[in-house]
Structure 1
Amino acid sequence: MEVKVKYELEFPINSSPQLLYQYISTPSGLSEWFADNVNSRGEIFTFIWEDTEERARLASRKSGEKVKFRWIDEGDKDTDYFFELKIMEDEITKDVSLLVTDFAPEDELGEAAQLWENQVADLKHVIGSV
């Protein structure tokens, strides 16, 4: 199995943490920017992109702050890989940013980061933070 490395990206977003949380924690919010369609049954989320379907377990959530999804393999087992979306707010300036933690093969880090940049650009467009 291919080894993936962990990486983090931070994106400034002009939004309230409460509004942003709706877009990162609910199937309807996620399907507006992250995937073509998102369904959930309990803590299992199914992410659909064109011909691809991936399942992840909602591993943890902290209301208004972060969500963490752990990918599930073909045998319905949790993998070592996850992605986490964390909302950070500067206490003084009140600037809000989204911290993305994800994994990718080392030789695909640039592509993976570009994909997140595109996804987050969609998110900013959806919430009017352009």
Structure 2
Amino acid sequence: MEEKIKLEIEFPIHASPQLLYQYISTPSGLSEWFADNVNSRGEIFTFIWDDSEEKAKMLSKKSGERIKFRWLNDDADNASYFFEIKIQVDEITKDVSLIITDFIEEDEMDEAKMLWENQISDLKHVLGSA
């Protein structure tokens, strides 16, 4: 199995952290921008796009701040791979950013960056901050 590379991207977002947290941490919020539909049963979230479905386990969340998932189709021995969506507020300017952390295979890096940019663009559109 090829080692994955950590990808970290920051996106400035004009929205309150409280509102943003609803969009990154709830199935209904994630359904608005991340996937066509999202269901959860306990810690297991099911993400549905067109005709594909992926399950992820919520590893941790901190209210108003971040949520971390691991795709269940990732090998068990790669439990160190995850994706995290974190809200960061600049203490001085109060600017709000989303920090995305993901693990990508090297040959998929450009595609992954573009995918996240499109996803966050959809989120901004939903929030009215585009």
TM-score tier, shorter chain, comes to: over 0.9
1:32-47 superposed matches below 5 A? 32-47=32-47
What is the match of residue 126 of structure 2?
126
Identity value in percent: 71
Q: TM (normalized to structure 1)?
A: 0.94
Displacement of 1:2 in angstroms is 3.6
Point out the more displaced range, 36-45 or 48-57.
48-57
AA partner of residue 4 (structure 1)? K
Structure 1's 74 and 94: CA in aligned 2 closer, same or farther, altered over 3 A? closer
Q: TM-score, normalised by structure 2?
A: 0.94
Q: Shift in Å at residue 3 of structure 1?
A: 2.8
Unmatched 5+ stretches in structure 1: none
Task: State the 4+ residue runs in structure 1 displaced beyond 3 angstroms.
Answer: none
Say whether 1:17 aligns with 2:17: yes
Per mean C-alpha deviation after superposition, the further-off stretch among 118-127 and 1-10 is 1-10
Are residues 117 and 92 of structure 1, via their aligned partners in 2, closer, same or farther at CA, if it must alter by over 3 Å?
same
Output the CA distance in 1 between the equivalents of 2:118 and 2:3.
24
Deviates more, 1:77-86 or 1:34-43: 77-86
CA deviations on 1:43-78 (whole Å, 9 max, x unpaired) are 100011112111111100000000000111289x58
| Cross-structure match for 2:73 | 73
Aligned-partner residue type, residue 73 of structure 2:
D
> For the aligned residues, what is the CA RMSD?
1.5
1:26-53 per-residue CA deviation (whole Å, 9 max, x = no partner) reads 0000010000110000110001111211
Report the residue type matching 1:82 in the other structure: F
